[in-house]
């Protein structure tokens, strides 16, 4: 590949992976047939290069090549993660027709080289469910702990360039969490607080990220099935305050059968214990940007909502009316929006004055409703990022509290 037998794009991609692998200390590459990256471009990219030629933009922004080369089709099963715009509601986002057209052209280009346009941070909700032990190259930080931990797949948190190179070569450096010896737990965690709801899992996850940064915990004492939606929120929260790419929960997650197995027999002297005061500290921190209780924007669906979440929001809004002056958006993968539409839930939400959005989110697309000053969300990740990205104050609580805020325009904790 490096000699150009498969074309200059593959040669450039392989050169990038070899340099990247050297930095990681990888002895070799590993084959992958499951890549999730983000190579959409828009006006910001074409302005920098002064061209809308897709091969040139892909060469520069996705492969870090100095000279443009013709891009060859993806060699691995490849998916586009979340993008910058909702293909139905781009006007609501405040995008121009020109921006919309450029993003559409970019999607068509990616599809033409074999990339599935899933446009979600939760590919595992819409058909890309990697198997146990499968080597993947995924980029989205909330999806990485989900597939590593719940499914037992193997990925590091990749970037735009490494996933693009992996798409073209079907290879990724054999380093980090691809190796069994790097997947053992380093920390033992217990909770003194009962954890069951999605809200509680989010708070617990945010606290874990605070304390563990990029370490691997095993959580002792959680029994029984845990709702995958709660674990979707859990992983997103811990990868906002920290960078926990893998956790073990014997009996719940895919790999470790016991705490000792997770720790490879090496028990740390002390366990990290999550206490009631930690719970309160996280909730206080995640509400700390808000200077009041008036709410003019409610955002649900970070990571993208699954069907149960959309249905639950429809149930809470059924027959009611969102307060004038409040914008209510719930985000879900576009494939699930279609199912929700056919199930009648989109209709119920829209009758109440809300919108079901897809393909994007406010933090990634960098948009909020015009004039929005303070938003409410049930996502620890969105409230962590959006105030920093858009300068909008944030409130964080349960889904019910967020819907109530949409109906009344007031936050009641």
- Cβ(274)–Cβ(335) below 8 Å: no
CB of 77 or CB of 381, closer to ligand F3S: 381
CB of 1 or CB of 380, closer to ligand F3S: 380
> Can you tell me whether residue 46 is helix, strand or coil?
helix
- Cβ(223)–Cβ(251) below 8 Å: yes
Q: How far is the CB of 261 from ligand F3S (least distance, A)?
A: 30
CB of 17 or CB of 330, closer to ligand F3S: 330
Q: How far is the CB of 377 from ligand F3S (least distance, A)?
A: 10
Q: How far is the CB of 378 from ligand F3S (least distance, A)?
A: 11
- Cβ(216)–Cβ(247) below 8 Å: yes
CA distance 76 to 179: 21
Helix axes 228-241 and 198-212, enclosed angle (nearest 10): 30
* Residues making up the chain, counted from first to last: 413
Q: How far is the CB of 166 from ligand F3S (least distance, A)?
A: 20
Q: How far is the CB of 386 from ligand F3S (least distance, A)?
A: 8
CA distance 348 to 354: 9
Q: How far is the CB of 364 from ligand F3S (least distance, A)?
A: 5
Q: How far is the CB of 7 from ligand F3S (least distance, A)?
A: 32
Helix axes 228-241 and 380-390, enclosed angle (nearest 10): 40
Tokens of 119: 């446009």
Tokens of 343: 């199930």
CB of 120 or CB of 169, closer to ligand F3S: 120
- The residues of the shown chain that bind ligand F3S, judged by CB under 6 A, are 82, 121, 142, 236, 302-304, 331, 361, 363-364, 381-382, 385
CB of 106 or CB of 382, closer to ligand F3S: 382
* Furthest-apart CA atoms within the chain: distance in Å: 65
CB of 191 or CB of 360, closer to ligand F3S: 360
CB of 337 or CB of 381, closer to ligand F3S: 381
Tokens of 142: 């909330």
> Can you tell me whether residue 15 is helix, strand or coil?
helix
As a three-state string, the secondary structure of 314-353 is: HHHHCCCCCCCCCEEEEEECHHHHHHHHHCCHHHHHHHCC
């Amino acid at each position: 590949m490096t000699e150009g037998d498969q074309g200059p794009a593959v040669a450039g991609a392989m050169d990038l992976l070899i340099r990247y692998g050297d930095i990681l200390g990888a002895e070799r590459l590993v084959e992958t047939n499951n890549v999730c990256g983000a190579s959409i471009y828009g006006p910001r990219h074409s302005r920098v290069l002064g061209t809308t030629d897709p091969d040139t933009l892909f060469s520069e922004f996705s492969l870090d090549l100095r000279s443009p080369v013709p891009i060859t089709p993806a060699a691995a099963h490849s998916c586009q993660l979340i993008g910058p715009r909702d293909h139905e509601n781009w006007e609501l986002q405040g995008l121009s027709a020109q921006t919309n057209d450029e993003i559409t052209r970019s999607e068509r280009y990616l599809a033409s080289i074999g990339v599935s346009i899933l446009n979600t941070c939760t590919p595992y909700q819409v058909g890309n469910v990697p198997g146990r032990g499968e080597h993947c190259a995924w980029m989205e930080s909330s999806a990485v702990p989900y597939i590593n931990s719940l499914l037992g797949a193997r990925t590091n948190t990749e970037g735009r360039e490494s996933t693009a190179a992996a798409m073209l070569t079907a290879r990724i450096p054999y380093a980090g969490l691809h190796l069994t010896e790097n997947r053992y737990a380093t920390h033992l965690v217990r909770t003194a607080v009962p954890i069951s709801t999605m809200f509680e899992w989010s708070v617990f996850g945010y606290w874990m990220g605070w304390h563990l940064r990029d370490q691997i915990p095993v959580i002792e004492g959680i029994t029984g099935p845990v709702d995958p939606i709660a674990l979707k929120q859990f992983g997103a929260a811990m990868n906002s305050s920290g960078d926990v790419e893998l956790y073990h929960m014997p009996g719940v997650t895919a790999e470790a059968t016991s705490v000792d197995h997770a720790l490879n027999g090496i028990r740390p002297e002390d366990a990290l214990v999550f206490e009631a005061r930690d719970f309160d500290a996280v909730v206080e921190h995640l509400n700390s940007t808000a200077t009041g209780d008036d709410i003019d924007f409610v955002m649900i669906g970070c990571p993208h909502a699954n069907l149960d979440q959309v249905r639950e929001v429809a149930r809470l809004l059924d027959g009611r009316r969102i307060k004038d002056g409040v914008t209510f958006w719930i985000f879900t993968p576009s494939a699930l929006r279609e199912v929700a539409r056919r199930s009648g839930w989109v209709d119920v939400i829209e009758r109440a004055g809300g919108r079901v959005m897809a393909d994007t989110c406010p933090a990634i697309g960098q948009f909020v409703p015009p004039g929005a000053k303070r938003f409410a969300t049930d996502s620890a990740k969105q409230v962590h990022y959006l105030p920093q990205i858009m300068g909008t104050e944030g409130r964080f609580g349960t889904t019910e509290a967020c819907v109530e805020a949409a109906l009344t325009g007031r936050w009641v904790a």
